[in-house]
C-alpha cells in the first residue's frame, strides 16, 4: 500500500486540485466483505476539461454556468478528447473473479498484486444471504430468484468449506502457516507461482488502476448499470460518488446524458415518430427483434399500447 504523506511532505502546488477529492484522498472505502477502494492520485478538474476544449478556438475561461453548459455539450455530442486530459488512480481490492471482469476494460494502466512473489492473504468473498440467487432462466449471465432456507445454507457451507480447505492446502504447498512461519523445515516449499493455482476465484487480489476521465466514465456507464453483476456494481457505485467529489460538473453531465439517458436505434426512433402520428404498431410490424421490442416498450409503454 502507498504510504500516507507526512506533514513535512506537503508543498504549495500550482496544480489544479479538487477540494472535495482532497478530503478523501488515500481514504479506503470498504466494499463487499473484505474489499476496498481508495483514490491515491489524480490530475485535472472540471476546469481542465473546459480549458482543453476552448484551446481549440482560442477562448479563455468563462463563467461557471457557461463551463457547465460546455461540459454538457461535450458529453452530449461525444467529444471525448477534452475528458482524456484528466486522470485518476485508484487502489482497489476485490475478489479475483471481479478483477477478471474489471480488467476486461483495457483502457487503463494496471499493476496487480502478484502471487508469484508474495503469499496470498487468507481472505475470500462469501456473498451475503440476500445475494445468493439461482441462475436466471431468461439471461445466461444473470441471477434469478433468491435462494432461501436449506438451499442457501448449502451454498454458504460449500463456499466457506472449499475456500478454507484450498487455503489450507495452499499453505501446506508453500510450507507457511498463518503467522508466516515455516511449517516443516525438512520439506521443500512448492514454488508460489504453482501453489497459487489451487486457490478459487473468490480469493481477494488488489491492484493500482490509472485511467483517463473519458474511459473512466465509459467503465462507470457499464459497471454502475443496474444490469451489471452486483459484486462489481458496488465498486462502480462508490466510484460514482468519487467522480462527483472530483468533478461535480462532469458528474452532473454524465448522470444526465449517459447514466440517465437511453440510446435508440434508427428503427426505434422511427417507431416513436410513427406512434406519435397515431399509427398502431406491434412487435411483428415494428421491424425489431423480440428483445429490442421488449426493451423499447419497457422504456416507452405507450409504444405498444
* CB contact set of 62 (below 8 Å; sequence gap of 6+): 50, 54, 70
What beta strand segments (E) does 123-255 contain? 133-135, 143-146, 204-212
Phi, psi of 36 (to 5 degrees): -160, 170
Q: How far apart are the first and last CA of the chain?
A: 57
Residue 209's beta-bridge partner residues?
Answer: 90, 110
Q: Catalytic pick from 223, 273, 275, 291? A: 223
CB 235 within 8 A of CB 98: yes
Q: What angle do CA 253, 255, 259 make, to 5 degrees?
A: 130
CA torsion sign for 114, 117, 123, 124 is positive
At residue 35, the 3 state secondary structure works out as strand
Q: Decide if 291 is catalytic.
A: no
At residue 210, the 3 state secondary structure works out as strand
What beta strand segments (E) does the chain contain? 29-31, 35-43, 87-95, 108-112, 133-135, 143-146, 204-212
DSSP state of 123: -
Catalytic residue ranges: 223
Amino acid at each position: 500500500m502507498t504510504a500516507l504523506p507526512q506533514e513535512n511532505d506537503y508543498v504549495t502546488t500550482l496544480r489544479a486540485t479538487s477540494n472535495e477529492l482532497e478530503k478523501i484522498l488515500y481514504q479506503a472505502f470498504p466494499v463487499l466483505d473484505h474489499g476496498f477502494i481508495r483514490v491515491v492520485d489524480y490530475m485535472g478538474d472540471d476546469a481542465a476539461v473546459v480549458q482543453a476544449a476552448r484551446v481549440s478556438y482560442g477562448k479563455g475561461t468563462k463563467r461557471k454556468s457557461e463551463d457547465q453548459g460546455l461540459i454538457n455539450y461535450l458529453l452530449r455530442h461525444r467529444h471525448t478528447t477534452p475528458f482524456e486530459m484528466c486522470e485518476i488512480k485508484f487502489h482497489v481490492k476485490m475478489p479475483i473473479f471481479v478483477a477478471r471482469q474489471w480488467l476486461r476494460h483495457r483502457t487503463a494502466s494496471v499493476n496487480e498484486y502478484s502471487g508469484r512473489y508474495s503469499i496470498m492473504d487468507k481472505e475470500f468473498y462469501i456473498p451475503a444471504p440476500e445475494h445468493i440467487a439461482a441462475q436466471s432462466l431468461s439471461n445466461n449471465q444473470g441471477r434469478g430468484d433468491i435462494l432461501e432456507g436449506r438451499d442457501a445454507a448449502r451454498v454458504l457451507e460449500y463456499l466457506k468449506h472449499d475456500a478454507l480447505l484450498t487455503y489450507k492446502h495452499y499453505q501446506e504447498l508453500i510450507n507457511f502457516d498463518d503467522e508466516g512461519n515455516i511449517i516443516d523445515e525438512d520439506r521443500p516449499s512448492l514454488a508460489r507461482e504453482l501453489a497459487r493455482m489451487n486457490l478459487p476465484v473468490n480469493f481477494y487480489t488488489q491492484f493500482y488502476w490509472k485511467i483517463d476521465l473519458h474511459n473512466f466514465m465509459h467503465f462507470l456507464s457499464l459497471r454502475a448499470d443496474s444490469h451489471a453483476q452486483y459484486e462489481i456494481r458496488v465498486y462502480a457505485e462508490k466510484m460514482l460518488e468519487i467522480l462527483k467529489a472530483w468533478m461535480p460538473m462532469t458528474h452532473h453531465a454524465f448522470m444526465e446524458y449517459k447514466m440517465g439517458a437511453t440510446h435508440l436505434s434508427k428503427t426505434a426512433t422511427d417507431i416513436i415518430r410513427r406512434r406519435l402520428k397515431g399509427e398502431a404498431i406491434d412487435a411483428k410490424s415494428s421491424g425489431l427483434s423480440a428483445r429490442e421490442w421488449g426493451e423499447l416498450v419497457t422504456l416507452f409503454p405507450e409504444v405498444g399500447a
